[in-house]
Amino acid sequence: MSSDQSVSIPGVFLLLIGILVILTPWYIFPVCEHYGDYVVTQSGMQLPMTCGWTARAEGGLGALLIVAGAMVLARNTKETRQAAGLFSIALGALVILTPTVLIGMCKAADHPCRVLTLPGLALLGIAAIVVGGYLIWMRESDA
């Protein structure tokens, strides 16, 4: 079987990681907004907490990881593996940086977003980076 026709395990992993990145902040390890916690302005308007914005951004990053996995599954060539690998490493870094540096999480250390969501997303980001590195490493192989 040629590399174009074979099923790529790293592609499947990227699909799963992308799905988990989407689901983690809302269903697996929900952010504060899931529990009804909002920022209330002086006018009484309720806005999502910082972790709610992070959860929304992670949904987009997860969708892009799904695209990277689908690329590898649809066309498992050396060039696709290299491109998807680089793309996955960058997305994995963004999955980690979004809750830690770019948008952030709630400041309270005991909030569920800090205790569960943040470590869960960090592990998923690391997994995406590892799979991306593996794709780059195997870019020259025929499988």
The per-residue pLDDT for 3 is 45
| Entry pTM | 0.90
pLDDT in tens, 102-141: 999 999 899 999 999 999 999 999 999 999 999 999 877 6
Interatomic CA distance for residues 121 and 132, integer angstroms? 16
The per-residue pLDDT for 29 is 97
Residue type, 13: F
User: Residue 76: is it exposed, middle or buried by C-beta count within 10 angstroms (0-12/13-18/19+)?
Assistant: buried
pLDDT in tens, 67-105: 999 999 999 899 999 999 999 999 999 999 999 999 999
pLDDT at 1 exceeding the cut of 60: no
SS3 state of residue 82: helix
pLDDT band at 7 (very low <50, low <70, confident <90, very high): low
Which residues on neighbouring strands pair with residue 47, listed in sequence order? 39
Bigger pLDDT: 74 vs 8: 74
Using alpha carbons, list the distances in angstroms from residue 28 to 2, 8, 66, 110, 120. Answer: 38, 26, 18, 17, 9
The per-residue pLDDT for 36 is 80
